[in-house]
Structure 1
Amino acid sequence: MTTVTAAMVKELRESTGAGMMDAKKALTENNGDMDAAVDWLRTKGLAKAAKKADRVAAEGLVGVAVSNGKGVAVEINSETDFVAKNADFQALVREVAKVALETGDEVEVVKASDLNGKTVETVIQEAVARIGENLNFRRLHVLEGDTVVSYVHNAATEGMGKIGVLVALKGPADKAAAIGKQFAMHIAATSPLSLSEATLDPVLVERELAVQTAKALEENAASAKPKPDAVIHNNIIPGRMKRFLSENTLLGQAFVINPDLTVEAAAKDAGVEITGYARVAVGEGIEKKTEDFAAEVAKALQG
């Protein structure tokens, strides 16, 4: 059986908002499995859905570039936020994004591509030596469509920041460009999991269905006036799944600029169709080890 540590309890509490004892019990009941513990807490009504991105952090910038119906978003990480404000580092991100726009959709291909007579990988390594921090060209996303619009949230300078968004649209170019920026801002704010129900990961849907089924049955069993099983399975659970899908798919979400419309309806009213999107945020999926200041100083003194 996995030993539940204080660090595991702390991580679960921070990602779900659950109390300490509830978090500890959830981990104990699920043999230390963090995802299963999150689902256990949600079944008990003790936590909201937790995204792994809420538990991660890293520094650096996302750079975006768009040309002729094609857009790219590249993420280059640094060790500190201070470097992300460095003009030399920003120039590197800008140049790598330009190369990525021309060369392809794989990091290794871009790394091997030419940048002012050297490979991109060599240019990055030279920047490491100049800047004095480890830099990592971690990922890129390429999006193509009739019209591609980009947006950067929390911009450090033009075309780069902490969150980069690309949106591909079909329809008249002028209309697509006008409303595309609004859709990109919406995506930056809401971080949808998928374009539509059809493109949502079926494993994720099944997991959510299991959580909502267990939660509804447990709530009904504890109710003073339990509802018939048919009501639970034919009304309550489908209703909760419908809400989950509307909240987590781009086309189903309420449009932040006009919540009376879904994003899909807003696009239709504007005479366009959203065919794809990408949202790249600095540090997604990277666990960043942290220490308190006293421990950090003690460690440095020991070294």
Structure 2
Amino acid sequence: MAAISASQVKELRERTGLGMMECKKALTEADGDIEKAIEDLRKNSGLKAAKKAGRTAAEGAVVTRVAEDGSYGVMLEVNSETDFVARDENFTAFAEKVLAKAFSSKSDDIAAIMEGELEDARGQLVQKIGENITARRAVVIEAGEGNRVGEYVHGGRIGVLTVLKGGTDEAARDVAMHVAAINPAVARPENMPQEQLDKEKAIILAQPDMAGKPTEIAEKMVQGRLKKYLAENSLTEQPFVKDPNQSVAEYVKAAGGEVIGFTRFEVGEGIEKEEVDFAKEVMEQARRS
């Protein structure tokens, strides 16, 4: 059985809001698998779905640029080792240079974008700053005929590109801001993968209040809860962050548009970052000296 670390318990507590002992027990029973622990907790207690954002593991910045006519947009993530460097003007200037090339070439191929002059500039920056600097990923969003791309960047760490059919530049930006704040799973209910719906249905059926229910009643309850799940996790159905009295779809419709899709980047998502116990490290060095 895998040993359960304090960092795993801490992450599960942050994602579920449960107590330390309950989290440790769940992790032990799940053999250290955090996602399985969350599923088991939901099955046993009806715990609401944990946020999927995960821990921010690397530092850096997300930058965006959209064509003046809204016909396409580019978003890029550039990483550094520390947040301090991510705020350095040399780092931000480098990120903007990479973005400019991606934008002019309409390319999301990081290797091709960095080839030549930019790779030399990256190497010089690494030497100057003393940290590893990498261009991690890029995306190019083409609006399509009759559509427009909107952009929003929050604190340099979360970036969003949205695509609306019709509408206004302001609406496209507002929807991007909503996505940055709320982090919906999909643009529309019909975009939710069937695999995810099946997984959610299994969790609902395993909850205590479903026990002993006649099949017909249980199915109605499941469908009702799945509908709620889709509403909570689909951009178009969510209460608009600037006016919760209307949904995002209603807000965009009032602006003469329709939501087509979105792409969201968050600095460091999906990258595991080593956690260093500096006090322990100093003690160990002291012992060796």
Q: What TM-score, normalized to structure 1?
A: 0.85
1:219 to 209, 212, 233: 209
1:109 paired residue number: 112
What CA deviation, in whole Å up to 9, does each residue of 1:266-296 have, x standing for no partner? 2122111222211111111122222334124
1:208 paired residue number: 200
Task: Kindly indicate whether residue 220 of structure 2 is the aligned counterpart of residue 231 of structure 1.
Answer: no
2:163 to 160, 168, 171: 168
Task: Kindly indicate whether residue 139 of structure 2 is the aligned counterpart of residue 149 of structure 1.
Answer: no
What CA deviation, in whole Å up to 9, does each residue of 1:107-165 have, x standing for no partner? 222222xxxxx4322221221111111112111122121321211112xxxxxx11111
Q: Figure out how many residues of one structure are paired with residues of the other and give that number.
A: 282
What residue identity is the alignment partner of 1:270? Answer: A
Aligned partners of 2:119, 2:50: CA distance in 1, in Å?
A: 36
CA positional deviation for 1:202: 2.7
1:48 paired residue number: 48
Task: Note closer, same or farther for the CA distance 1:65–1:33 as it changes in structure 2 (3 Å cut).
Answer: same
Aligned partners of 2:15, 2:243: CA distance in 1, in Å?
A: 30
Aligned partners of 2:14, 2:243: CA distance in 1, in Å?
A: 32
What residue identity is the alignment partner of 1:51? Answer: K
Aligned partners of 1:192, 1:183: CA distance in 2, in Å?
A: 11
Local SS of the residue matching 1:71: strand
CA positional deviation for 1:57: 2.8
CA contact (8 A) 1:77 1:135 kept: yes
CA positional deviation for 1:42: 1.4
What residue identity is the alignment partner of 2:205? Answer: T
CA contact (8 A) 1:153 1:163 kept: yes
Local SS of the residue matching 1:51: coil
State the identity as a percent. Answer: 41
RMSD of Structure 2 on Structure 1 (CA): 2.1
CA contact (8 A) 2:63 2:75 kept: yes
2:249 paired residue number: 264
Q: What TM-score, normalized to structure 2?
A: 0.89
What residue identity is the alignment partner of 1:219? Answer: D
CA contact (8 A) 1:170 1:176 kept: no
Aligned partners of 2:262, 2:277: CA distance in 1, in Å?
A: 38
Unpaired runs of 5+ residues, structure 1, are 113-117, 155-160
CA positional deviation for 1:211: 1.1
Task: Note closer, same or farther for the CA distance 1:108–1:204 as it changes in structure 2 (3 Å cut).
Answer: farther
1:123 paired residue number: 121
The aligned runs of 1:132-147 (5 Å cut-off) are 132-145=130-143, 146-147=147-148
Aligned partners of 1:184, 1:231: CA distance in 2, in Å?
A: 39
After TM superposition, the structure 1 stretch with the greater mean CA deviation from structure 2, 284-293 or 71-80, is 284-293
Unpaired runs of 5+ residues, structure 2, are none
Task: Note closer, same or farther for the CA distance 1:279–1:131 as it changes in structure 2 (3 Å cut).
Answer: same
What residue identity is the alignment partner of 1:144? Answer: E
After TM superposition, the structure 1 stretch with the greater mean CA deviation from structure 2, 123-132 or 88-97, is 123-132
2:16 paired residue number: 16
Aligned partners of 1:291, 1:13: CA distance in 2, in Å?
A: 20
CA contact (8 A) 2:39 2:203 kept: yes
Aligned partners of 1:219, 1:35: CA distance in 2, in Å?
A: 23
Task: Note closer, same or farther for the CA distance 1:196–1:300 as it changes in structure 2 (3 Å cut).
Answer: farther
What CA deviation, in whole Å up to 9, does each residue of 1:6-47 have, x standing for no partner? 443333223322222322332233233221111011122274
What residue identity is the alignment partner of 1:123? Answer: A
1:81 to 80, 83, 89: 83
